[in-house]
């Protein structure tokens, strides 16, 4: 608690300055300011003793014990201070009433500053606990996001290496070009995907490289694969590896590899409110019923990043699969 008091030293200074002025107004009769300051200082010293001994000693020591013990300790503390106050005849100097009235007045002031110090202690603990809760929640979210990213990257890499292996087996002339595309994608995963957010233009470039990589394969419906982007600006940011998961899922579960009438269309744009609009639709392999681990992880990342502040619509029919995603332009 002491280190917290040091952080709030200005607040304490202003508080006790106010109390001193308030008490000074009681003692000062317009004739002897020095004496009034002296009496006000003595009075405030007792108030400060009440507040800080309760705050730094009594409350921390008895906070885990029954309330009755805390109350008894306060009564004992009051008795000691009151004995000192009366023993030094300060009541006659500062209050100038009979002993009974002086004792009652001192006890009421004791109660007031005990309550003030208790409320301060309670608020400090409340805000410490609230800060700790927020910190734990933030750390938990970060850990979950890192876990999801660690699942995404190997999954993405595994599929790409399978494609390269297939070309290498057939001794395709496109193998070196495919390795170069994969190298660019891996550079993104290592350098940019570790960030909390990336410019939308970088994520769009990743999608283009992934599509280029897919074009190097023998895909029956190559002429029916389209990717359109509009109004993209580096000032708009999104979490990394969100959109590419939908693209990868579309390529994996579509029928474009063997159906020349198959299709895969991607549209990425920024609307007038700076929202990110992403739409992807593909013809579907009717044998594929699962959405895959990629979409499952993407849903979790969306929930963790945006806390429900996004729109995701999935239209899964017999012949096609369509995803429409709308995101706020920036992630805080």
Burial of 90 (0-12, 13-18, 19+ CB in 10 A): middle
Region of residue 241 (left: phi > 0; alpha: psi -120 to 50; beta: else): left
- Is residue 285, in this structure, part of any structural domain at all? yes
The answer to the question of residue 267 being in a domain is yes
- 138 assigned to some structural domain: no
CB 288 within 8 A of CB 256: no
| Host H or E run for residue 134 | helix 99-169
179: pLDDT strictly greater than 50: yes
Q: Does the structure show a pLDDT above 50 at 322?
A: yes
176 and 50, same structural domain? no
DSSP 83: H
**Residue 197 · residue 240 · CB < 8 Å:** yes
Q: Are residues 86 and 196 in the same domain?
A: no
- Show which of 73, 103, 132 is a domain's final residue: 132
> Are 116 and 176 members of one domain?
no
How high is the pLDDT of residue 70?
A: 81
- Taking residues 87-93, report their average pLDDT: 70
Beta bridge partners of 267: 228, 279
pLDDT computed for residue 158 by the predictor: 74
Same domain (yes/no): 315, 190: yes
Residue 176 pLDDT > 50: yes
CA 77, CA 84: separation in Å to the nearest integer?
11
Task: State how far the Cα of 155 lies from the Cα of 201, in Å rounded to an integer.
Answer: 23
Lowest mean pLDDT among 81-85, 135-139, 159-163, 267-271: 135-139
Q: How far apart are CA 192 and CA 184, in angstroms?
A: 11
pLDDT of 202 over the 70 cut: yes
Closest by alpha carbon to 295, among 330, 244, 259? 244
Q: Does any domain span residue 154? A: no
Across residues 98-109, what is the average pLDDT? 81
Whether residue 146 is contained in a domain is answered as no
Please check whether residues 77 and 207 belong to one and the same domain: no
Please state the domain count of the chain: 2
Residue 136 pLDDT: 60
Q: Residue 126 falls within a domain, yes or no?
A: yes
Residue that finishes a domain, picked among 101, 132, 163:
132
Residue scoring higher pLDDT (63 or 229): 229
Angle at 173 between CA 168 and CA 174, to 5 degrees: 80
Q: Span 300-328, mean pLDDT? A: 87
pLDDT at 191: 79
pLDDT in tens, 189-200: 777 777 778 899
Same domain, residue pair 200 and 316: yes
| Contact between residue 268 and residue 204 where contact means Cβ atoms under 8 Å apart | yes
Task: Supply the range of the domain harboring residue 314.
Answer: 172-327
Say what the pLDDT of residue 332 is. 47
Q: How confident is the model at residue 240 (pLDDT cuts 50, 70, 90)?
A: confident
Q: Is 123 a residue whose pLDDT tops 80?
A: yes
Reported in sequence order, the residue ranges of the chain that DSSP labels E, i.e. its strands, are 198-199, 225-230, 237-238, 264-270, 276-283, 311-316, 320-327
Q: Which of 154-168, 170-184, 221-235, 282-296 has the highest mean pLDDT?
A: 221-235
* pLDDT at position 100: 80
Same domain? 200 vs 317? yes
Q: What mean pLDDT value characterizes the chain?
A: 80
Partners of 227 in the β-ladder: 266
Please tell me whether residues 128 and 176 are part of one structural domain. Answer: no
Q: Say if residues 319 and 287 touch (Cβ distance below 8 Å).
A: no
Rounded Cα distance, 174 and 103, in Å: 97
Q: Are residues 66 and 181 both part of a single domain?
A: no
Q: What percent of the chain lies above the pLDDT cut of 70?
A: 82
What CATH code is carried by the domain that includes residue 251?
A: 3.30.565.10
More confident residue, 41 or 172: 41
Whole-number pLDDT of residue 249? 82
Q: How far apart are CA 11 and CA 5, in angstroms?
A: 9
Asked whether residue 162 is assigned to any structural domain, the reply reads no
- Within this chain, do residues 19 and 111 fall inside the same structural domain, yes or no? yes
The answer to whether residues 261 and 321 belong to one domain is: yes
Which of the listed residues 106, 132, 158 is the one where a domain comes to its end? 132
Domain-embedded: residue 143:
no
pLDDT at 228 over 90: yes
Strand order in the sheet with 276-283: 225-230, 264-270, 276-283, 320-327, 311-316
123 shares a domain with 186: no
Residue 52 pLDDT > 50: yes
Residue 190 in contact with residue 156, Cβ under 8 Å?
Answer: no
The residue-averaged pLDDT of 202-209 equals: 90
Q: Which residue would you say has higher pLDDT here, 287 or 257?
A: 257
Nearest-5° angle of CA 277, CA 279, CA 282? 175
**For residue 141, pLDDT beyond 80:** no
């Amino acid at each position: 608690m002491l280190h917290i008091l040091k952080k709030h030293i200005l607040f304490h200074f202003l508080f006790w300055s106010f109390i001193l002025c308030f008490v000074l107004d009681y003692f000062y009769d317009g004739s002897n300011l020095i004496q009034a300051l002296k009496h006000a200082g003595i009075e405030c010293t007792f108030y400060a003793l009440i507040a800080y001994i309760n705050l730094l000693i009594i409350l921390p020591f008895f906070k885990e014990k029954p309330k009755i013990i805390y109350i008894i300790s306060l009564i004992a503390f009051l008795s000691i201070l009151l004995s000192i106050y009366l023993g030094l005849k300060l009541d006659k100097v500062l209050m100038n009433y009979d002993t009974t009235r002086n004792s009652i007045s001192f006890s009421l002031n004791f109660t007031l500053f005990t309550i003030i110090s208790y409320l301060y202690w309670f608020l400090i603990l409340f805000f410490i606990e609230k800060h700790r809760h927020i910190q734990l929640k933030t750390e938990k979210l970060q850990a979950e996001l890192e876990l999801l990213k660690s699942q995404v990257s190997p999954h993405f890499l595994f599929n790409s290496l399978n494609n390269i292996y297939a070309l290498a087996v057939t001794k395709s002339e496109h193998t070196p070009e495919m390795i170069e595309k994969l190298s660019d994608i891996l550079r993104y995963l290592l350098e940019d995907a570790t960030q909390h957010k990336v410019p939308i233009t970088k994520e769009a470039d990743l999608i283009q490289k992934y599509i280029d990589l897919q074009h190097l394969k023998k895909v029956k419906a190559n002429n029916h694969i389209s990717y359109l982007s509009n109004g993209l600006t580096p000032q708009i940011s999104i979490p990394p590896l969100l959109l590419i998961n939908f693209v990868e899922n579309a390529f994996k579960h579509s029928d474009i590899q063997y159906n020349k009438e198959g299709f895969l269309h991607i549209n990425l744009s920024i609307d007038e409110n700076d929202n990110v609009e992403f739409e992807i639709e593909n013809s579907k392999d009717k044998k594929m019923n699962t959405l895959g681990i990629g979409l499952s992880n993407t849903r979790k990342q969306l929930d963790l990043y945006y806390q429900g502040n996004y729109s995701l619509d999935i239209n899964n029919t017999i012949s096609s699969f369509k995803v429409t995603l709308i995101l706020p332009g920036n992630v805080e």
